[in-house]
Chain A
Amino acid sequence: MKMTFRSILALSCIFAASMQSLAGEASNALAVSVDKIFAILGDPEMKGDERKAERHSQIRVVLGEGFDYEEISKRALGKEWKKLNDEQRTEFIGVFSQLLENTYMSAFEKYSSEEVKYESERELGKGKFVVATKVASTSKMIPIHYNLMNRGGSWSIYDVKIEGVGLVKNYRTQFRKVISKKSYAALVKQLEEKVAKDSQ
């Protein structure tokens, strides 16, 4: 069954309207980003391989608005972050955010038609919230939890947990291993090589 762009738009309007009434601010902020991505993926003018680069650059913008890459980098690096100067931090955020973007992009290419259910929102304190969602895949509903924080009125995602598996924690484990076995410089080099390879 193929949905027309109009019906997707209508659905997302209904969805957005229902969101307003039942969920909190964090869920709304998340839904805005998610809907933007679905709108890009559902746009018939953006379909096909020849429009891939344009589609990706549009999604990249939405991801950049939605995710706090600095916060994610800081959390994923842990103690190592404190040892870095501003220049090194900027370099790290740049390369790590590209890896995250590539990862999400390949997931979106696969799951463009899935529906998102916003289940609940819970405050963790200090302007931090967890929004519980469920995404329908072919075989089951996959729980995805987003951690968002509010800084001066703008919301950003600083962690994602898919079926209980946290993004930040997962990269923390990997980064720790590479740094302890090799070095921080080796980690950056590995990230750069990976991003260069995946972006080809």
Chain B
Amino acid sequence: MNPFTPPFAIFTALAVILALAFCLPCSLAGETDMPPPAMMIAQADAAGDTDDEDYENEYGDADEGLSDPLYHWNYAWYVFNDRVYLWLLEPTAKGYSAVMPEQTRGCVRNFFDNAMMPVRFANCLLQAKGRAAVDELTAFAVNTTVGIVGFRNAAEDMLLYEPQSEDLGQTFGTWGAGHGIYLVWPVIGPSSLRDTFGIVGDSFVSPINRLSTNWNIGLRTYDVVNDTTFRIGEYERVKQAAIDPYSSLRDIYVQYRDRQVAE
């Protein structure tokens, strides 16, 4: 029925590997367990003069960053995703945004954001973020009613509520799990062992997964295309700025996720 819900046997096996990932993050993940950069700067400064030695502490990279033992697998999917994005997804998004006004696309995005509330709510609870959980519930109630099933983000206008992205990967992170290893998945893109388990776990809570396969895939695709209309050109700029795009993207993923976990 549902392609995103794996058989339980596989899930149990994954859970065992995840347990291992919790035990091994320090040795595997390298810098990902370091405190946030700002803290490191403070520490480095407190430690003494800011000479060259301190830079090494400040950026805390004994190795190249997140460990990447599956480099060839990851690189192949990186190339695949690059083509899918540039040749298929972005042209589709461009065409779609040419016929669909920005306001409508904003409403569509609000609708999907609102529909995914259970995932964020569950993770707020798992991270013991009481205030954020209450905000999520309030925003959901307001957006579903006043905001007409979520098409308008009425809560944000009224309550100055800023929806925070929360997912299971971040929850594992706040519990102290490192990334494990870097993983690139087709279509999904950059991820890590930890965040892959997060995606699988979140899919059990996601309301879209309650729908039939066709609706599920259809709506997900629509959500991705709609979202892409707000990011046209971003990927190209990242690539243009990079001297080694693959390792740049990997680093961006790690830094971005570490900040989300720290928040």
A residues with a Cβ closer than 8 A to B are 74-75, 78-79, 81-82, 99, 102-103, 106-107, 110, 122, 124-126, 128, 130, 137-139, 147, 161, 163-166, 168-178, 180, 187, 190-191, 194, 198
Cα separation A177 to B49 with both chains bound (whole Å): 28
What 8 A-B pairs have minimum CB-CB distances, sorted nearest first?
A: A164-B259, A125-B45, A139-B230, A173-B251, A103-B241, A174-B244, A165-B255, A177-B247
Flag if B247 contacts A164 (CB, 8 Å).
no
Shortest B230–chain A CB gap in Å is 4
Q: Are A170 and B252 in contact (CB under 8 A)?
A: yes
Complex: chain B residue closest to A143, CB-CB: B259
**Taking the complex as formed, is B248 at the interface, i.e. its CB lies under 8 A from any CB of chain A?**
yes
Bound-state Cα–Cα, A166 to B34, Å: 15
B64 touches A169 (CB 8 A): no
- The binding surface of chain A is classed by DSSP as helix
Which of B54-62, B137-145, B171-179, B194-202 lies at the interface with chain A? B54-62
Q: Which of A82, A102, A125, A161 contacts B37 (CB 8 A)?
A: A161
4 further interface pairs, Cβ-Cβ under 8 Å (given A106-B237, A124-B41) = A161-B37, A169-B61, A174-B248, A187-B243
Query: Which of A107, A122, A138, A173 interacts with B248 by CB under 8 Å?
Result: A173
Residues of B at the A interface (CB closer than 8 Å) are 37-38, 41-42, 45-46, 49-50, 52, 55-56, 58-59, 61, 64-65, 102, 106, 109, 230-231, 233, 237, 240-244, 247-248, 250-252, 255-256, 258-260, 262
Q: How far is the CB of A95 from chain B (nearest CB, A)?
A: 10
Closest chain A CB from B132 CB (angstroms): 17
A97 vs chain B, min Cβ distance (A): 13
- Expressed in whole angstroms, the minimum distance between the Cβ of A164 and any Cβ of chain B is 3
A172 surroundings in chain B (CB, below 8 A): 59, 61
- B102 contacts A138, C-beta separation under 8 Å: yes
Establish whether residues A173 and B247, one from each chain, have CB atoms under 8 Å apart when the complex forms: yes
How many cross-chain pairs have Cβ atoms below 8 Å apart between A and B?
103
18 residue pairs from A and B, CB less than 8 Å apart: A81-B52, A99-B241, A103-B240, A103-B241, A107-B237, A110-B233, A124-B42, A138-B230, A139-B106, A139-B230, A165-B252, A166-B255, A173-B248, A174-B248, A177-B64, A177-B244, A190-B243, A198-B240
Report the separation of the CA atoms of residues A165 and B238 in the bound assembly, to the nearest whole angstrom: 12
In the assembled complex, the CB of B235 is this many whole angstroms from the nearest CB of chain A, namely 13
Which residue of A99, A106, A147, A174 has the most chain B CB atoms within 10 A of its CB atom?
A174
- Give the residue of A78, A107, A178, A190 whose beta carbon is less than 8 angstroms from that of B59: A78
A194, B256: Cβ atoms under 8 Å?
Answer: no
Whole-angstrom distance between the Cβ of B90 and the nearest chain A Cβ: 15
Q: Please, which residues of chain A bring their CB within 8 A of the CB of B106?
A: 139
Q: Once the chains bind, are A174 and B260 in contact (CB under 8 Å)?
A: no
Q: Note all chain B residues with C-beta closer than 8 A to A147.
A: 41
Interface pair A165/B247, CB less than 8 Å apart: no
> Which residues of A have CB within 8 Å of B260?
164
Contacts known (A169-B37, A173-B65, A194-B243); A78 close to B255, Cβ less than 8 A:
no
CB-based nearest A residue for B49: A126
Taking CB atoms, residues of chain A closer than 8 Å to B240 are 102-103, 106, 198
| Nearest-neighbor residue (CB-CB) of A176 within chain B | B64
Given A74-B55, A107-B237, verify A169-B251 contact (CB < 8 Å): yes
Q: Which residues of A contact B102 (CB under 8 A)?
A: 138
Q: Which of the listed residues B59, B61, B259 has the most CB atoms from chain A within 10 Å of its own CB?
A: B59
Residues in A neighbouring B55, C-beta threshold 8 A: 74-75, 78
A191 neighbours in B (Cβ, 8 Å): 243
Q: How far is the CA of A110 from the CA of B25 in the complex (A)?
A: 40
Contacting pair A128 B41 (CB below 8 A)? yes
Q: How far is the CA of A171 from the CA of B247 in the complex (A)?
A: 9
Nearest A residue to B260 by beta-carbon distance?
A164
Cβ A173 vs Cβ B46 within 8 A: no
Judging by beta carbons under 8 Å apart, are A103 and B237 in contact? yes
Which of chain A's residues have a CB closer than 8 A to the CB of B37?
161, 166, 169
List chain A residues, Cβ under 8 A from B45: 124-126, 128
B256/A165 in contact, CB under 8 A: yes
Give the shortest distance, in Å, between A158 (CB) and chain B (any CB): 10
Residues of A within 8 A of B242 (CB): 174
